[in-house]
Amino acid sequence: MSGGIGKDQADAMRAIASRYNARLIMAEARKPSAAFLAAVPVTISDSKGRVILRIQTDGPFLFLHLPPGRYSVRAEVAGQVLSKSLQVKSKGAQQIALIWPKPAGEH
């Protein structure tokens, strides 16, 4: 499930977040607060390096049901790649935030 553009959609995504065991949030560092990002290409690979999901997000939230295990998450915005590890356990949920620095030259 991907989305969260606009307040209503973001509120709807937050309301269902607990149904998913893996949650990603994508934003750009801004002041006074981060700016959510959409249309972010995301690749999730399992512990053996096999790609299990390749998607372009519809909003700043990407919620997934994944089997327990270790995964690598790779996402790219404006040519800048961020990679993070994701550990999904049999109970509970894992949430990671992918925060890109603001573009060079912006204050």
What distance in Å separates the CA atoms of residue 38 and residue 82, rounded to the nearest whole number? 15
Residue 73: inside a domain, yes or no? yes
User: Which band of pLDDT confidence, cut at 50, 70 and 90, is reported for residue 104?
Assistant: low
Q: Is 107 inside a domain boundary?
A: no
How many separate domains does the chain show? 1
**Which CATH number is 24's domain given?**
2.60.40.10
Does some domain include residue 89?
yes
Q: What is the DSSP string of the chain?
A: -EE--HHHHHHHHHHHGGG-SEEEEEEE--SSS-EE--S-EEEEEETTS-EEEEEE-SSSEEEE---SEEEEEEEEETTEEEEEEEEE-SSS-EEEEEEEPPPTT--
Residue 43's domain comprises 2-100
Residue 106 lies in a domain: no
Q: pLDDT tens for residues 26-77?
A: 999 988 888 999 999 999 999 999 999 999 999 999 999 999 999 999 999 9
Residue 61 lies in a domain: yes
In a domain, 27, yes or no: yes
